[in-house]
Amino acid sequence: MKRFLRGVAILWVVFRYGLDGLVLDSFQKPWLRMISRILSVGRNLDAPRGQRLREALESLGPIFVKFGQVLSTRRDLLPPDIADELARLQDRVPPFDPDVAIATIERAFRRPVGEVFVSFDRTPVASASIAQVHFATLRDRQGVEREVAVKVLRPGMLPVIEKDLSLMRMMAGWVESLSADGKRLKPREVVAEFDNYLHDELDLVREAANAAQLRRNMQGLDLVLIPEIFWDFCHAEVMVMQRMNGVPISQIDRLREAGVDIPKLARDGVTIFFTQVFRDGFFHADMHPGNIQVSLDPATFGRYISLDFGIVGTLTESDKEYLAQNFVAFFRRDYKRVAELHIESGWVPPETRVNDLESAIRAVCEPYFDRPLKEISLGMVLMRLFQTSRRFHVEIQPQLVLLQKTLLNIEGLGRELDPDLDLWSTAKPFLEKWMLEQMGPQRLWRELRAEAPHYAKLVPELPRLLYDALRQRPADQQHLLKELLETQKRTNRLLQSIIYGGVGFVLGLLAMQLFMRIRVF
């Protein structure tokens, strides 16, 4: 019954704001346009269509606002008036009552807000689907006054999210049972992934931990700033962090007037993303313009400022290695290797013919190489990729849903900053360097350090184990012999990793030398 009532409420909002007309008007068939005009009789639809769409998403709740935020980063897919309105969802959702925010803070810290902060600005500086942010001044443990940002969770979010997720689970079940592509698309698993990170976003202590981890990871890169977390003032509903001063990345004209190198900013964004994904396996997964600023401070001029860490993505070592190999093969236009990787990973059925899959991938990807972003039609690419995935029964990977969403955000951001950006040539050197590090001496050294404590303890014991084996009865000797054989196998694996690492390093050096010679000729 709850699902039914929520479905009715959604349909009512669609009808109330005239979203049905937006869909029908997009078709060229005269009879569909006639239906749209008939349905609009008696409804006040004077507001611009972009405003109506934004207000409808706001009224439907946080999941729909998230959807609008993702769409707002893709101006290449939307009319300008709709894109401008959806951009307001990034940090200008109608705020909730500041008295409610203060009550939440006082309940979390069990004392009046005046005792927590030296000063507190009641007017929120930003408001989004899950929380809103107030500026304040805090006195730290050393007695130093610090400018801070206080993030307060929007009240009553959990019941709303649960209703929508319940409806999405039901719809996913319908898709899986009724659609021919149901099992391949894995809608239940995708909704489960969405469920996980949406619930994580409701816990601000988890978000604070994400921010602290990203801050440590990015310290040596000197391309991005992440706020410091004040752990004495963090709660599930309240998070206090360093106040960051920057210009929203969407204000490109203002950044250009200040002297920021916009093309470099676009390249740096690609570098930050690939570093977080492939080096760390821990990446900011909500990178819409409302969460990104640029520093104009002389000490950190031109660096990114990342905000809002409620949604982060993680990748396993196997996921990172597989994706990196796919990207490198793709950038080298080695479509046969891309096809082989899909089969080896189990993403496509094992009986798939490599040559057929290679030919299909080449037909999709080849037309878009060596082109700037402004000349690439993402809609056409996605349509052809979907057709190819259906033909070869490619299975959706739910654990990569966040990565795919973030890739859309990154590409949209890059398109806004520098339409002439060549995404392929910018990312290729980074990935090739990363792959060389995985095969070369750095990986060998990491493995040796990881195994060193075990072998440091085991090697001195080998003579005693051998002596004990010679003195034991035959039955006992069998047991000890097995232990010795297991030890020998572990030693062999270590030696193999040393040999493979050395060979990989040599091959990498030879490949680099060959590449340099080709460049010279």
Q: Are residues 338 and 410 in the same domain?
A: yes
pLDDT in tens, 180-231: 555 655 667 767 766 776 777 788 999 999 999 999 999 988 899 999 999 9
Q: Is the pLDDT of residue 376 over 70?
A: no
CA atoms of 353 and 340, how far apart (whole Å):
9
Rounded to two decimals, what is the model's pTM?
0.70
178 and 280 both lie in a single domain: no
Q: Is residue 181 assigned to a domain?
A: yes
449/425 same-domain check = no
User: Are 397 and 449 found together in one domain?
Assistant: no
% of the chain at pLDDT higher than 70 = 67
Among the candidates 137, 168, 198, a domain finishes at 198
Does 457 share its domain with 417?
A: no
Task: Provide the residue type at 29 as one letter.
Answer: K
Both 10 and 58 in one domain: the answer is yes
pLDDT, tens only, 87-132:
777 667 788 899 999 999 999 999 999 999 999 999 999 888 788 9
Same domain assignment for residues 293 and 397:
yes
Q: Chain centroid to CA 218: how far?
A: 16
334 and 474: one domain?
A: no
State the DSSP string of 460-509.
GGHHHHHHHHHHS-HHHHHHHHHHHHHHHHHHHHHHHHHHHHHHHHHHHH
Q: In the chain, what is the straight-line distance between the N-terminal and C-terminal CA atoms, in Å?
A: 72
Q: Is 132 part of any domain?
A: no
| 334 is known as an active-site residue | no
The label of the residue with tokens 């740096």 reads: 268
Instruction: Give the active site residue among 286, 370, 422, 468.
Output: 286
| 413 & 365 share domain | yes
Backbone φ and ψ for 292, nearest 5 degrees, come out as -130, 130
Q: Is residue 108 part of a domain?
A: no
Claim to verify: residue 61 and residue 182 sit in the same structural domain: no
Residue 231 lies inside a defined structural domain of this protein:
no
Is residue 107 domain-resident?
Answer: no
What does the alpha-carbon distance between residue 285 and residue 292 come to, in Å, rounded to a whole number? 12
Residue 22 lies in a domain: yes
The token pair at 351 is 């009986």
Number of domains in the chain: 4
Q: Which residue has the tokens 């930050």?
A: 272
- Quick one: 448 and 413 in the same domain? no
Position 450 confidence tier, pLDDT thresholds 50, 70, 90: low
Distance between CA 521 and CA 515 in Å, rounded?
Answer: 10
Q: Give the residue numbers spanning the domain of 470.
A: 440-520
Q: In the chain, what's the furthest Cα-to-Cα distance?
A: 99
Domain membership of residue 451 (yes or no) is yes
CB 92 within 8 A of CB 55: no
